[in-house]
Structure 1
Amino acid sequence: MIDHLRGADQPAPDTISEQQVLDDDFQLALWCCYELYYRGFDGTAPDAEWDPRVLAFRAELEKPFTGWLRTLTGPALAATTPVAEQLRALIDADDGPSLAAYLQRHATRDQFREFLLNRSVYQLKEADPHSYGIPRLDGATKAALVEIQTDEYGGGRAERMHAELFRTTMRWLDLDDTYGRYVPDVPAVTLALSNAMSLFALHSRWTGALLGHLAALEMTSTLPNRRYAGGATRLGATEEQARYFTEHVEADAVHEQIAAHDLCGRYAEENPDAVPDILFGAACCLALDNLVAEHLLTAWNAGQEGQVAS
């Protein structure tokens, strides 16, 4: 497997600069390493994720990736005020491009389709990376994370799982809702967004970052999803086809408070040294979302929508 990921003529990953981290092949190789911990691949040994060669190769990729994330988000932030307040300040200061506003008012069907195609890389396994945090927590922090995740998984009803709701939205625009179908087609920034979640999920050292990432997701979800729903309706989506977005408008208004206060706030009280990691995870979420938005909007403004494989 390593030979297929690296390629016979490729340099060892420790020679890769941070500028090369956003190479499509780099991010795809890292995504493949991480995917062994989710669904795996046909023809791959069931225990391939523990192969020492895979672990070593993954570590070689993670080093420049983590360094690039640090550069992307700036210097580490220290605890100065309650972490929930710092998370809100971080989000309020974010001035990235408003992809949601464009999709609400201006996007064509092809553009909305491309948006869904890119989102499918994570959304078809929505909540799974953050669930890795559950066994690392205890007491109230564990209960808070489980409360959020229970809603993400539809409260035990398969048809209400957020990943399943997203499949319905994909089918509205004739997208293939097979898990991982569009991974080979999306740009490196989309894979990087997914890979950051897996980086935090698979390392207990990054538990704080995993929780901060989740908090940022929940705290920035309500308004964009209201706009996504408006754009989908404008383009002819039925109530059922837009339910993925409308479901998040209501659910994430509640999740925002749980994630900021009951999850991150309590975890920071119990682990004061983890505050910089919590804020790092949140900053990664915001910065990577902005990169994906910038990539799509730049392509659309140049008239390049709809060029991803169907």
Structure 2
Amino acid sequence: MPNTIEILPSSDSRSLSKKQPVLPNYEAADRQFVDLLEVEDLDKTVATKPLLVSDFESAIAVALRSAYQEPNGSEAAHSFLQRVLYRINRLNLFWYDDLRRYNNERSHYLRSVRDRIEEPWQQWESAQIDVAALQKLPDVKQALRDRAAADVARPLNETDRYLREQMTAAGYRHLLAIGSIDGLVEASHLSRILGGVGNEIQSTLTRVLIEEYGGGRLPRKHSTFFAQMLAEFDMSTQPEAYFDLVPWEVLATINHNFLLTDRKRHFLRYNGGLTYFEVAGPVTYRNYVAGVQRLGLSEAAMSYWELHVREDERHGRWMLDEVAIPLVDRYPQDAWELVLGYDQAQSMGDRAGAAVVRSIQAAERN
């Protein structure tokens, strides 16, 4: 494992005149952070050699301002910050890889980086939602039911029609490459909230997880079906093989779920979001199936989506009727957080979906 850390050239950081501010070299800062993650004792190294992280720290500071304080946040800044967050959060899951990659999983420095990004990012995300209105909802149960009913029968939008009617075979390969960042480790976030006191809500969530994990049989695990789709196109089935293709908007949805499952105080928000995901998922998956069928591709090329159309219709009903609605009764004062989680998942999911289509279209033009 590498023990050296790249120092960004001075021309990329502080040697220029203050009258000529220059954006950080985010790609170089990202590479430097990858090296930092694999240092033998990161906290001690940072404490004794702070210069090693000075350029990375400068990049973080500029990116936070550019992404969350400027009216039109920098795409490069958003991408850099979400990549850094993902690399830290990824240490919370075990990937059956080199054990030394987890040397710094409880690093105080990494935690401080994560917290410094998450706070302004979450404030920025919350500003996209009318939280005050959600806090005043007169009937949270009805709000959830209304949203679910609308999303089950959502009319096709421009993104849906593109996936169904225009996406090429090359575009579909690009879609699979992006989707593999989550599809190959599917339901891992759900597994992180199941420990604790047993009750009917927990049992339903466990049923969802067990089905996602194929009842403990690898050939039936949902991620296995995703790997089969990749193999059908001779694509890599290694997790994160296509990390560099993933738009920041997609990474943000993943990092958001890491945050919500890390903090049990956000249990309601997470389950609201999961309810949306399970309710609305089949609509998107049908778009993929329709696109694959139009292209004349094999059954194996869409097996994961077909499976999810069937199972997520059931999971959506479970999440609404056996998780979200009972949680309203259990936490009446905080139940609005379920709707917040639902609305945030919808908003962030729509944003990610649009970014994926833009990325596909760009790949098709090249």
TM-score in terms of structure 2 length: 0.75
Which amino acid in structure 1 is aligned with residue 168 of structure 2?
T
Which amino acid in structure 2 is aligned with residue 234 of structure 1?
R
1:232 paired residue number = 292
Q: Which of 37, 54, 58 is the matching residue for 1:11?
A: 58
2:143 paired residue number = 86
Unaligned runs of 5+ in 1: none
SS across alignment from 2:215 = helix
Which amino acid in structure 1 is aligned with residue 125 of structure 2?
L
1:147-166 superposed matches below 5 A: 147-166=207-226
- Which runs of at least 4 in structure 1 moved beyond 6 Å after TM superposition? 93-96
Q: Is the 8 A contact 2:232 2:300 kept in 1?
A: no
Give CA deviations for 1:177-204 in whole Å, capped at 9, x if unaligned.
1111112332211111211111111111
Over 3 Å counting, the alpha-carbon distance change for 1:151 and 1:14 in structure 2 is same
Over 3 Å counting, the alpha-carbon distance change for 1:274 and 1:171 in structure 2 is farther
- The alignment status of 1:25 with 2:83, answered yes or no, reads no
Task: Report the more deviating stretch, 8-17 or 218-227.
Answer: 8-17
CA distance in 1, matches of 2:358, 2:306: 27
Q: Which has the larger radius of gyration?
A: 2
Q: CA deviation at 1:276?
A: 2.6
- The alignment status of 1:173 with 2:220, answered yes or no, reads no
CA distance in 1, matches of 2:352, 2:261: 21
Which amino acid in structure 2 is aligned with residue 33 of structure 1?
I
1:199 paired residue number = 259
RMSD between aligned alpha carbons?
2.7
Task: Report the more deviating stretch, 9-18 or 46-55.
Answer: 9-18
Task: Report the more deviating stretch, 108-117 or 269-278.
Answer: 269-278
Task: Report the more deviating stretch, 276-285 or 117-126.
Answer: 276-285
Give CA deviations for 1:238-284 in whole Å, capped at 9, x if unaligned.
22332211111111111111101101111221122332322222122
Unaligned runs of 5+ in 2: 6-29, 37-52
- The alignment status of 1:285 with 2:331, answered yes or no, reads no
Give CA deviations for 1:64-113 in whole Å, capped at 9, x if unaligned.
12112202233251342243x32343453888955343222221012112
Identity of aligned residues (%): 20
Over 3 Å counting, the alpha-carbon distance change for 1:96 and 1:36 in structure 2 is farther
CA distance in 2, matches of 1:304, 1:210: 33
TM-score in terms of structure 1 length: 0.88
Q: CA deviation at 1:167?
A: 1.0
Task: Report the more deviating stretch, 214-223 or 271-280.
Answer: 271-280
Task: Report the more deviating stretch, 216-225 or 130-139.
Answer: 130-139
SS across alignment from 2:175 = helix
Tell which has more relative contact order, 1 or 2 (C-alpha 8 A, sep 6+).
Answer: 1
Which amino acid in structure 2 is aligned with residue 31 of structure 1?
Y
Task: Report the more deviating stretch, 99-108 or 29-38.
Answer: 99-108
Number of positions where the alignment pairs a residue of Structure 1 with one of Structure 2: 305
Q: CA deviation at 1:128?
A: 0.6
1:34 paired residue number = 89
Which amino acid in structure 2 is aligned with residue 89 of structure 1?
D
- The alignment status of 1:63 with 2:119, answered yes or no, reads yes
1:46 paired residue number = 102
Over 3 Å counting, the alpha-carbon distance change for 1:164 and 1:239 in structure 2 is same
Over 3 Å counting, the alpha-carbon distance change for 1:239 and 1:154 in structure 2 is same
CA distance in 1, matches of 2:210, 2:165: 33
1:122 paired residue number = 182
CA distance in 2, matches of 1:61, 1:96: 35
1:134 paired residue number = 194
Over 3 Å counting, the alpha-carbon distance change for 1:152 and 1:104 in structure 2 is same
Q: CA deviation at 1:307?
A: 7.6
SS across alignment from 1:138 = coil
2:20 paired residue number = none
CA distance in 2, matches of 1:274, 1:136: 20
SS across alignment from 2:205 = helix
CA distance in 2, matches of 1:130, 1:95: 29
Q: Is the 8 A contact 2:193 2:261 kept in 1?
A: yes
SS across alignment from 1:49 = coil
Over 3 Å counting, the alpha-carbon distance change for 1:276 and 1:221 in structure 2 is same
1:217 paired residue number = 277
CA distance in 1, matches of 2:156, 2:250: 16
- The alignment status of 1:184 with 2:236, answered yes or no, reads no
